[in-house]
């Protein structure tokens, strides 16, 4: 399979501004390039990102810095065991305005924003986690029989500690499936950790992102222009078949109780298109698909209990499934 690069579908100004976000984030966050790229891909797909890492790996700082580099409305919710669904979506309250005393009106929750930081999402029970389902899937909130659309663009960037940590609640499969990507933030390598300490020794305050020189370099209009351009990225029948074959290979794996659904395959297609556009192309290659496979599909898979006892890892199973599928030429 051969294709010639075409750039007609690419808006170079919007792409340049969104790529500049990486440089702004790097002013406050050392490394974690995969997480930054994942957030940009999700913005361009209208999807959402779940970031997992042990405490202290800059999950919250990363999202706060991303928010500072974008000229959009942002809000943060700290998820706790006593958080209620209405604390996120909003609730009906008694109106005290003149002429409306005693009537109920809807007070919008923090979800009515462009970028929502759902901090430590797995520290709240599944009932509250599920309050995000409609918003993440349909971009709206329903209350008292009324559907209220959310602002656009809309992104949920959720952070969580690994499920082995005390006081955490595993996210339900339906909730996990609403995240376009799950990005694992590792402990930084030695050189990056030295850079982090050097910055702190020089006076860097992670609570003061503006003090690090981070500024807004892209706006909501750039994100929406990018979303339009991404929808024009071409996907050949061979690449579409490659994605389907990867999904089907996971369903046939004896180590998995849950393979990739058609929704998961569609998510991989969307993510690969966004990655291709960020790379300056208006067509998807098999390498684009492989680059996004782990982040897009791993959290949608379920390992059989007997395989878990044998130490089988989801990432290994997925890598094996991808390796078993012939790459289109």
- Tens digit of each residue's pLDDT (9 = 90 or more) over 187-208: 888 998 999 899 889 888 888 8
What is the second-level CATH architecture of the domain 233-329?
A: Orthogonal Bundle (1.10)
- Tens digit of each residue's pLDDT (9 = 90 or more) over 91-140: 877 766 655 666 777 888 899 999 999 998 888 888 888 888 888 888 89
Choice between 14 and 102, residue whose per-residue pLDDT is larger:
14
Confidence of residue 9 (pLDDT cuts 50, 70, 90): very low
- Tens digit of each residue's pLDDT (9 = 90 or more) over 127-185: 888 888 888 888 898 877 788 899 989 999 999 887 666 667 888 888 888 899 999 88
DSSP state of 81: T
- Where residue 204 falls (left for φ over 0; alpha for ψ -120 to 50; beta otherwise) is beta
Question: Are 244 and 232 within 8 A, CB to CB?
Answer: no
pTM, 2 dp: 0.85
CA distances from 76 to 13, 35, 81, 118, 240 (A): 29, 18, 16, 6, 37
The CATH code for residues 12-231 is 3.40.50.300
- Tens digit of each residue's pLDDT (9 = 90 or more) over 16-58: 999 999 888 988 888 888 888 999 999 999 999 999 888 888 8
pLDDT at 244 over 70: yes
Distance CA 279, CA 293 (A): 17
Which residue ranges make up each domain of the chain? 12-231, 233-329
């Amino acid at each position: 399979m051969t294709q010639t690069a075409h750039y007609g579908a690419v808006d170079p100004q919007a792409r340049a501004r969104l790529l500049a976000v990486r440089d702004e984030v790097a002013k406050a966050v050392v490394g974690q390039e995969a997480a930054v790229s994942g957030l940009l891909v999700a913005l361009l797909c209208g999807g959402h990102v779940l970031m997992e890492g042990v405490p202290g790996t800059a999950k919250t700082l990363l999202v706060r810095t991303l928010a500072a580099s974008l000229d959009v409305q942002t809000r943060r919710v700290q998820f706790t065991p006593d958080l209620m669904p209405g604390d996120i979506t909003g609730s009906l309250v008694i109106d005290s305005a003149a002429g409306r005393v005693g009537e109920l009106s809807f007070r919008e929750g923090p979800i009515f924003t462009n970028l929502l930081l759902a901090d430590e999402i797995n520290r709240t029970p599944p009932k509250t986690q599920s309050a995000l389902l409609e918003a993440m899937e349909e971009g709206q909130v329903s209350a008292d029989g009324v559907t209220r659309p959310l602002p656009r663009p809309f992104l949920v960037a959720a952070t969580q500690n690994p499920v082995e940590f005390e006081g955490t609640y595993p996210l339900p499969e339906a909730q996990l499936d609403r995240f376009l990507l799950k990005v694992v933030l590792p402990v930084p390598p030695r050189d990056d950790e030295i850079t982090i300490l050097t910055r702190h020794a020089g006076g860097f305050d992670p609570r003061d992102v503006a003090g690090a020189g981070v500024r807004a370099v892209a706006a909501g209009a750039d994100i929406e222009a990018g979303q339009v351009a991404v929808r024009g990225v071409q996907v050949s029948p061979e690449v579409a078949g490659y994605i389907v074959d990867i999904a089907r290979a996971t369903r046939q794996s004896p180590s998995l109780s849950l393979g990739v659904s058609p929704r998961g395959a569609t998510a991989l297609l969307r993510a690969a298109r966004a990655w291709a556009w960020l790379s300056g192309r208006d067509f998807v290659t098999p390498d684009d698909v492989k680059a996004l496979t782990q982040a897009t599909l791993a959290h949608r898979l379920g390992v059989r209990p007997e395989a878990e006892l044998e130490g089988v890892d989801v990432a290994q199973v997925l890598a094996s499934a991808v390796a078993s599928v012939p790459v289109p030429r």
